[in-house]
Chain A
């Protein structure tokens, strides 16, 4: 039986029903390695374990526990929660790290409820002091920075996607099979699954260095292409306001704001976005903010480093060609 270091940090690597390891694992293992010894857990359907474990090693996990569960692709959460409970009992980690993804939050929540653990959500960083791990949060749209810790026991935490830049060096991990006693807990059935297809060569919104977002001011899905054009010239990710999402210009996954994605890029360009408080909550910690809006009273100008009162359909094409000619 393998020994686990006293400073072990257990990391749940998210694996899709088809066996793909999600990219969030890189930041989680990077964060874990910075404060202790990362032990990764992969839960996958029979046969899919070894490839997933290898991928976890590439992200820097030195030890990987593999739970192959026949119901991993048909049962939504319980196989993973059961496996995490078994892994935590084996490893006795100082902290359990999961992605603040849809799946990660649910597993974290069920695991914390089952074990009565302290749960810290949406962490933007993690460090340690003499007492143990300290979790850093960014609250109310980044208006406040809050540090928290568990008063006793291992803390369970979910980490905001794209928030951690640290990466651990790739390893050839030791791989161990994890025996998982089934809890028998009733679960949600997966009826069908369509893998996300990364069709675009554009960067991921979360963690992007530059984001170009469009709002209701774009007027239609066709005209939203102007946002994409500027984004491509800048090598940027594409974001949107909730109004643009509601109007069907872009899918919900592009929404920036309180109930969408929180971004903190070097450069954020808001096109035809009024800058409602709920939108600002998702982007106001960007290093530089640029806004183009035809309404001089739009609240977005209160936080813009460079604002243009004007028609975006006139300004953006000129901007695109000006950037192109500067590069020549």
Chain B
């Protein structure tokens, strides 16, 4: 089985995440680029399957800027077999639809039985990529799985939505996305990190994928405004009457 895990590099959520107010694009100076936590969990799903099934091949795929190789090396250190990075200046500020087209083209070139993605990225991706990629590949897309079972020819799982809980099944080849209900990932160990250095690492351009992006992005940012940061108000230490004081505060502000 060949599993492609989609890795997105995002600004660390622990850092100061900023937008450029002219372009609306991410300002990379504020926060360290890291593998999005949900993608480590996605990789863990693949690694757990590979632990039990010999002959499983895991490819980590990321579309993004020149910092991405560090993130992909981490995935290799955790246990992915090879990595593919799509890097191209024409992708700066790429809209969601173009990003999905590039990911789908790269997956086609790599070949796959199963694609595993995160359900939503932490930098405002909006969880569209996995379904878009499924549509472009013409395969089932079982997203938002809280539980996953992979067999040689199908993947089953549970999906919670606003309507209720779905038991779902997709024949392979398929795309899935997983939620943070699935386990946290293992750490890369020293042996893994050393081995990662020798693993295949391919860098592709849009030309390699036969994609010529149109000049104009499908969507345009008209305006970016930064909200003033919140400031601290009153902080009291409970001396036995804090509950009463809070009730008074709420009453004064017409909140009760």
Are B227's CB and A323's CB within 8 A?
no
Are A119's CB and B128's CB within 8 A?
yes
Number of residues in A with C-beta < 8 Å to the partner?
Answer: 102
On chain A, the residues within 8 Å of B95 by CB distance are 118-119
B161 at the interface (CB under 8 A from A): yes
CA distance A148 to B246 in the complex (A): 41
Are B19's CB and A139's CB within 8 A?
yes
On chain B, the residues within 8 Å of A194 by CB distance are 164-165
Are A114's CB and B135's CB within 8 A?
yes
- CB within 8 A of A120: which of B38, B136, B219, B253? B219
B100 to chain A, nearest CB (A): 6
B92 at the interface (CB under 8 A from A): no
Identify whether the interface residues of A are mostly helix, strand, loop, or mixed. mixed
A92 at the interface (CB under 8 A from B): no
A278 at the interface (CB under 8 A from B): yes
CA distance A276 to B56 in the complex (A): 38
A247 at the interface (CB under 8 A from B): no
Are A196's CB and B165's CB within 8 A?
yes
A199 at the interface (CB under 8 A from B): no
On chain A, the residues within 8 Å of B127 by CB distance are 105, 109, 121
A117 at the interface (CB under 8 A from B): yes
Are B162's CB and A301's CB within 8 A?
no
CA distance A158 to B80 in the complex (A): 34
25 A-B pairs with CB atoms under 8 Å apart are A100-B126, A102-B143, A109-B127, A110-B132, A118-B218, A118-B219, A121-B126, A139-B19, A140-B19, A140-B124, A147-B223, A149-B220, A150-B220, A158-B126, A186-B171, A187-B170, A194-B165, A252-B146, A266-B255, A305-B233, A308-B242, A309-B235, A315-B242, A315-B243, A319-B246
Give A contacts to B, CB under 8 Å: 14, 16-17, 20, 22, 24, 76-77, 81, 99-103, 105-106, 108-110, 112-114, 116-122, 134, 137, 139-140, 142-153, 155, 158, 161, 185-196, 210, 234, 242, 252-253, 258-259, 266-267, 277-278, 281, 284-285, 288-290, 292, 296, 301-311, 314-323, 326-327
